[in-house]
Amino acid sequence: MTDGILVGAASPRSIAGSAGRPGSASETDDQWWRRAVIYQVYIRSFADGNGDGIGDLAGVRARLPYLVDLGVDAIWFTPWYVSPLADGGYDVADYRAIDPTFGSLDEAERLISEARDLGIRTIVDIVPNHVSDQHPWFQAALASEPGSPERARFWFRPGRGEAGNEMPNGWLSNFSGPAWTRTNDPDGTPGEWYLHLFSSQQPDLNWGHPDVRAEHEAVLRFWFDRGVAGVRIDSAALLVKDSALPEVPLQPGPGEHPNTDRDELHEIYRGWRAVADSYPDARILVGEIWLPDIERFAKYLRPDELHTAFNFDFMARPWDAPSLKASIDSTLAAHAPVGAPATWVLSNHDVTRPVTRYGQEDSSFAFATKRVGTPTDLELGRRRARAAALLCAALPGSLYIYQGEELGLDEVQDLPAHQLRDPMYLRSGGEDPGRDGCRVPLPWAGTSAPFGFSPAGATHEPWLRQPGRWAGLTVEAQQRDPGSMLDLYRTMLRIRRTDPALGDGPLRWLPSAPDVLAFERGDGFVCLTNFSPSPIELPAGGSLVLASAELSGARLPSDATAWLRLDRSPTRTSPSGDRRRGGDDGME
Ligand code: NOJ
Ligand code: CA
């Protein structure tokens, strides 16, 4: 790591250091989720405890102290249930058991309670749109006749055409290709088709069926009873289908899409909220909702529905001040009427790592255009990712961090073809690079693979090859480097945890040039990001709390963010030019 941070007059270590973990998961704080920092663990790639090259619960348990030091409030685990792993666990065969590759239910319970003792809450992933084709319900459906009650829990339909060999409709899978697969009848002859909006190993459930509803509410209770503090709801806007299965209109109006964002979904989530609210302490529902219509998005966050949902709009935007400002404004404006906090997300296990994205000329994200092979300036990308981290952490609401983001890992775009597992890659015949490149096992220590991901004497190499260039990005290396990304994240989270201006609450934009974003939180906490190609002067009358890059004098360089605390003495002016009343923070 070459680019350093500069800590100004007000040392963040002294600000944060005195307060310990006051914002941690206290028993009584029912509003914790409104400002929480939630760390996403993609379990297969976090830490391998038993040396088989695949991450597991033992690995997570051993690394809990790392997450405490990092300063997170909760962990969201991507699916850890029994699964053939056709889609990284988003193909669940048994919701009430842990996949033996990862550990056991008993161990999961221990992990939940150990984390809780350390002040970290647990969020599990619920995948309600589909199950694995190995799930007993689907196996029973395959073994049963067309029209049977077993098939009614899914979307089985006869094919079109005389021989029934045309798909029931033209819907497409999110993973390329058709959304229908034909089955064989129990006697071996070609039979009905079934719907799968993702891979053919992930048959869609019929949410019009009472068993489907009852089962998911029972699964919620199962995990809440084991102490989890919330659930992340996979593909939350897809569950309900128009049962006539019409073609997708060219330009569906609001609520008119036959398989996305249907109005009936709200009633389902009201039922889930009632389950969550039946517990004495807060249990939260977090929706994975990709919708271009932010007003429709916000409807899921009404007070009797989900608590929060991922804000992907911000994540998908390019590194551009007006575009990000527009996203922040529309996000906050849409959340305000429903009283829900926004979430800020820079990455997850589905999208290109931000260091790589921000190092490309077009730094926006879209599934359809992943730009593998385009020139990428990783140094620039890492610099912008640092600035983006401080920007996001200062915005109102809760914050998500995807494992490895705090290490500044880049997308691995040259994995050996035989290792690629993602159905996005496999189903597209390699046209889509897939998502394996952001799922490479974390580098913990040492100078060569497996970089401490697996213990000494491991029997297998990590399931995806780690690049040699990560030697400088291991946790061990970054812990020694005060200018590292890891150090920036730790410091940033410590300040965020202890400064009441941060987290939930209002934001006030300060006047600035169009390629600068400047806003105030609370009384006098200022976040300033410079997107312009030249350094900018920091406002007089403020002391530096933290910066993502080294300042030159009082100038903030290009592609950097600074956090400042304004001095409120009557002789000072704010960056907006307003004269301010006398201050009380005395930090200069
Ligand atoms: C969204 C998940 O994040 C992704 O990884 C998965 O492939 C799809 N939903 C299908 O479950
Ligand atoms: Ca393992």
Q: What is the pLDDT of residue 187?
A: 84
Q: List, chain by chain if needed, residues with CB within 6 Å of any ligand 1 atom.
A: 87-88, 90, 127, 198, 234-235, 288, 349-350
State yes or no: pLDDT of 582 exceeds 90.
no
Confidence (pLDDT) at 574? 42
Q: Report which DSSP code applies to 464.
A: S
Testing ligand 1's pocket by substitution, the residue of 350, 426, 436 carrying the most ligand atoms inside 8 A of its CB is 350
Where is pLDDT greater, at 368 or 165? 165
pLDDT at 35 over 90: yes
Position 569 scores a pLDDT of: 55
pLDDT at 26: 53
Where would I find the beta strands (DSSP E) of 325-473? 343-345, 398-402
Find the ligand nearest to 92 CA: 1
Closest Cα to atom 10 of ligand 1: 90
> Quick one: what percent of the chain has pLDDT higher than 70?
92
Mean pLDDT of 24-31: 66
Distance between Cα 333 and ligand 2 center (Å): 44
User: Which residues, other chains included, contact 174 with Cβ-Cβ below 8 Å and sequence gap of 6+?
Assistant: 197, 198
Q: What is the DSSP letter of 425?
A: H
Strand partners, 156: 194
Q: Which residues contact 533 (CB under 8 A, 6 or more apart)?
A: 558
Amino acid at 134: Q
Tokens at residue 371, please? 């730009």
Nearest residue (by CA) to ligand 1, atom 5, is 350
pLDDT of residue 20: 36
Of 41-50, 184-193, 225-234, 498-507, the poorest mean pLDDT is in 184-193
Per-residue pLDDT tens over the stretch 179-237: 999 999 878 899 999 999 999 999 999 999 999 999 999 999 999 999 999 999 999 99
Residues 31, 33, 37, CA angle at the centre, nearest 5°?
A: 135
Neighbours of ion ligand 2 (CB under 5 A): 48, 50, 52, 54, 56
CA distance 540 to 290: 41
pLDDT on residue 209: 98
pLDDT at 588 over 70: no
Atom 4 in ligand 1: which residue has the minimum CA distance? 350
pLDDT at residue 185, rounded to an integer: 87
State the SS3 of 309-355: ECCHHHHHCCCCHHHHHHHHHHHHHHHHHHCCCCEEECCCCCCCCHH
Q: Are strands 284-287 and 308-309 parallel, antiparallel or unpaired?
A: parallel
Return the structure tokens found at 174.
Answer: 């999110």
Q: Are 51 and 457 within 8 A, CB to CB?
A: yes
The per-residue pLDDT for 186 is 76
Tokens of 118: 């350390």
514-547 confidence digits (pLDDT tens): 999 999 999 999 999 999 999 999 998 899 999 9
Q: What is the Å distance from ligand 1's center to 351 Cα?
A: 11
pTM above 0.85, yes or no: yes
Summarize the confidence of residues 224-253 as an average pLDDT: 98
Q: What is the pLDDT of residues 412-431, one digit of tens each?
A: 999 999 999 999 999 999 99
Mean pLDDT of 299-304: 98
Query: What is the distance, to the nearest Å, from the Cα of residue 274 to the centroid of all Cα atoms in its chain?
Result: 25
Quick: pLDDT tens for 74-89: 999 999 999 999 999 9
Smallest-distance ligand from the CA of 59: 2
Task: Reply yes or no on whether the pLDDT at 340 is more than 60.
Answer: yes
- Whether residue 296 contacts residue 242, with contact meaning beta carbons closer than 8 Å, is answered with no
pLDDT band for 370, please (50, 70, 90 cuts). Answer: confident
Q: How far is 312 from 289, CA to CA, in rounded Å? A: 8
| 287, 310 contact by CB (below 8 A) | yes
Active site residue ranges = 234, 288
Contact 444, 474 (CB under 8 A): yes
Band of residue 261 on the pLDDT scale cut at 50, 70, 90: very high
Query: Over 90: is that where the pLDDT of 289 sits?
Result: yes
- What is the Cα gyration radius of the chain? 24
pLDDT(585) > 70: no
Q: Whose alpha carbon is nearest atom 2 of ligand 1?
A: 234
Mean pLDDT for the chain? 92
